Amino acid sequence: MRFKYHTYIHDLTDCPPTHAYAQEIEVFRFVFKQIDDQRNFAPVYILKPKRRHPKDPHHKTCSGYGLSLFNTLENACSRYADLLESIPSFPQTVGTHIAKGQVNNDNGVATEPNSDGHLTLYEFEHTNLHVRFQIVHQVYYDGMS
Protein backbone atom coordinates (compact mmCIF):
# COMPACT_ATOMS: atom_id res chain seq x y z
CA MET A 1 0.00 0.00 0.00
CA ARG A 2 1.04 3.57 -0.61
CA PHE A 3 1.70 5.87 2.35
CA LYS A 4 -0.21 9.11 2.86
CA TYR A 5 2.87 11.33 2.69
CA HIS A 6 4.74 9.30 0.07
CA THR A 7 5.87 12.40 -1.82
CA TYR A 8 7.73 13.58 1.27
CA ILE A 9 9.14 10.30 2.53
CA HIS A 10 10.19 8.54 -0.67
CA ASP A 11 13.75 9.95 -0.49
CA LEU A 12 14.23 9.31 3.22
CA THR A 13 16.25 6.31 4.31
CA ASP A 14 14.25 3.60 6.11
CA CYS A 15 10.97 5.51 6.07
CA PRO A 16 8.75 4.21 7.45
CA PRO A 17 11.20 2.27 9.57
CA THR A 18 11.50 -1.40 8.67
CA HIS A 19 10.61 -2.31 12.26
CA ALA A 20 7.16 -0.63 11.93
CA TYR A 21 4.34 -3.03 11.08
CA ALA A 22 0.56 -3.18 10.67
CA GLN A 23 -1.13 -3.63 14.03
CA GLU A 24 -4.56 -3.68 15.63
CA ILE A 25 -4.21 -1.54 18.74
CA GLU A 26 -6.04 0.92 20.95
CA VAL A 27 -4.16 4.22 21.04
CA PHE A 28 -4.38 7.74 22.45
CA ARG A 29 -3.50 11.08 20.82
CA PHE A 30 -3.37 14.76 21.77
CA VAL A 31 -6.15 16.61 19.93
CA PHE A 32 -8.08 19.84 19.81
CA LYS A 33 -11.64 20.02 21.18
CA GLN A 34 -13.33 19.30 17.84
CA ILE A 35 -12.32 15.81 16.68
CA ASP A 36 -12.61 16.79 13.00
CA ASP A 37 -10.15 19.70 13.38
CA GLN A 38 -7.71 19.21 10.50
CA ARG A 39 -4.74 19.67 12.85
CA ASN A 40 -5.64 16.64 14.96
CA PHE A 41 -4.34 14.00 12.57
CA ALA A 42 -1.65 15.83 10.61
CA PRO A 43 2.05 15.07 11.21
CA VAL A 44 4.24 17.84 12.59
CA TYR A 45 6.16 18.29 9.32
CA ILE A 46 2.90 18.81 7.45
CA LEU A 47 1.53 21.25 10.05
CA LYS A 48 4.81 23.15 10.38
CA PRO A 49 6.80 22.77 7.15
CA LYS A 50 9.54 25.09 8.45
CA ARG A 51 10.54 22.38 10.92
CA ARG A 52 11.78 20.32 7.99
CA HIS A 53 13.98 23.11 6.63
CA PRO A 54 17.16 21.73 4.99
CA LYS A 55 19.38 23.66 7.42
CA ASP A 56 17.73 21.84 10.32
CA PRO A 57 19.79 18.70 11.08
CA HIS A 58 16.54 16.82 11.75
CA HIS A 59 14.86 17.69 8.43
CA LYS A 60 15.30 14.14 7.19
CA THR A 61 13.74 12.57 10.25
CA CYS A 62 11.08 10.15 9.16
CA SER A 63 9.10 10.43 12.39
CA GLY A 64 8.09 13.99 11.46
CA TYR A 65 5.75 12.44 8.89
CA GLY A 66 4.20 9.99 11.34
CA LEU A 67 1.57 10.51 14.00
CA SER A 68 2.55 10.43 17.66
CA LEU A 69 0.35 8.07 19.64
CA PHE A 70 0.42 6.54 23.10
CA ASN A 71 -0.52 3.06 24.27
CA THR A 72 -2.44 4.21 27.38
CA LEU A 73 -4.31 7.28 28.56
CA GLU A 74 -1.99 7.48 31.54
CA ASN A 75 1.11 7.58 29.34
CA ALA A 76 -0.45 10.28 27.14
CA CYS A 77 -1.36 12.41 30.18
CA SER A 78 2.11 12.00 31.67
CA ARG A 79 3.85 13.04 28.45
CA TYR A 80 1.50 16.00 28.02
CA ALA A 81 2.34 17.23 31.54
CA ASP A 82 6.07 16.87 30.87
CA LEU A 83 5.87 18.81 27.62
CA LEU A 84 3.61 21.50 29.08
CA GLU A 85 6.19 22.14 31.79
CA SER A 86 8.94 22.84 29.25
CA ILE A 87 6.79 24.30 26.43
CA PRO A 88 4.07 26.62 27.80
CA SER A 89 2.54 27.07 24.32
CA PHE A 90 2.11 23.31 23.93
CA PRO A 91 -1.74 23.39 24.17
CA GLN A 92 -1.94 25.83 21.25
CA THR A 93 0.26 23.51 19.19
CA VAL A 94 -1.25 20.07 19.85
CA GLY A 95 -4.58 20.66 21.56
CA THR A 96 -6.19 20.47 24.97
CA HIS A 97 -7.74 17.02 24.89
CA ILE A 98 -6.85 13.37 24.45
CA ALA A 99 -8.73 11.10 22.08
CA LYS A 100 -8.88 7.32 22.06
CA GLY A 101 -9.07 5.31 18.89
CA GLN A 102 -8.55 1.97 17.24
CA VAL A 103 -5.85 1.59 14.64
CA ASN A 104 -6.06 -1.47 12.44
CA ASN A 105 -4.02 -3.16 9.72
CA ASP A 106 -5.66 -1.04 7.02
CA ASN A 107 -4.59 2.27 8.59
CA GLY A 108 -0.81 2.03 8.30
CA VAL A 109 2.24 0.71 10.07
CA ALA A 110 3.33 1.60 13.60
CA THR A 111 6.42 1.27 15.72
CA GLU A 112 6.38 -0.57 19.02
CA PRO A 113 5.74 1.68 22.04
CA ASN A 114 8.90 2.97 23.71
CA SER A 115 9.42 3.04 27.48
CA ASP A 116 7.11 6.09 27.75
CA GLY A 117 4.38 4.34 25.76
CA HIS A 118 4.95 6.51 22.67
CA LEU A 119 4.65 5.01 19.21
CA THR A 120 4.56 6.44 15.70
CA LEU A 121 1.97 5.59 13.05
CA TYR A 122 2.75 6.01 9.36
CA GLU A 123 -0.65 6.18 7.66
CA PHE A 124 -1.64 4.55 4.43
CA GLU A 125 -2.79 6.92 1.72
CA HIS A 126 -6.57 6.80 2.19
CA THR A 127 -6.66 6.56 5.98
CA ASN A 128 -9.08 8.94 7.70
CA LEU A 129 -8.43 8.63 11.41
CA HIS A 130 -10.78 11.26 12.82
CA VAL A 131 -13.72 8.88 12.29
CA ARG A 132 -11.94 6.21 14.37
CA PHE A 133 -11.29 8.42 17.42
CA GLN A 134 -13.36 9.98 20.17
CA ILE A 135 -12.33 12.48 22.80
CA VAL A 136 -12.04 10.86 26.22
CA HIS A 137 -10.20 13.38 28.38
CA GLN A 138 -9.59 17.11 28.70
CA VAL A 139 -5.95 17.45 29.70
CA TYR A 140 -5.61 21.23 29.72
CA TYR A 141 -8.00 23.84 31.08
CA ASP A 142 -7.65 27.43 29.97
CA GLY A 143 -11.01 28.72 31.14
CA MET A 144 -12.40 28.61 27.59
CA SER A 145 -12.28 24.88 26.78
**Does 47 fall in a domain?**
yes
- 13 confidence band (pLDDT: 50, 70, 90): confident
Is pTM beyond 0.85 here?
Answer: yes
Range of the domain at 120: 6-138
Q: What is the CATH number of the domain that holds 73?
A: 3.20.170
Mean pLDDT computed over 46-59: 69
**Does 122 fall in a domain?**
yes
Separation between Cα atoms, residue 19 and residue 101, nearest integer Å: 22
Q: Is the pLDDT of residue 61 over 90?
A: no
**Does 64 fall in a domain?**
yes
Query: How many structural domains comprise the chain?
Result: 1
**Does 1 fall in a domain?**
no
**Does 52 fall in a domain?**
yes
pLDDT digits (tens, 9 = 90+) for 120-134: 999 999 999 999 999
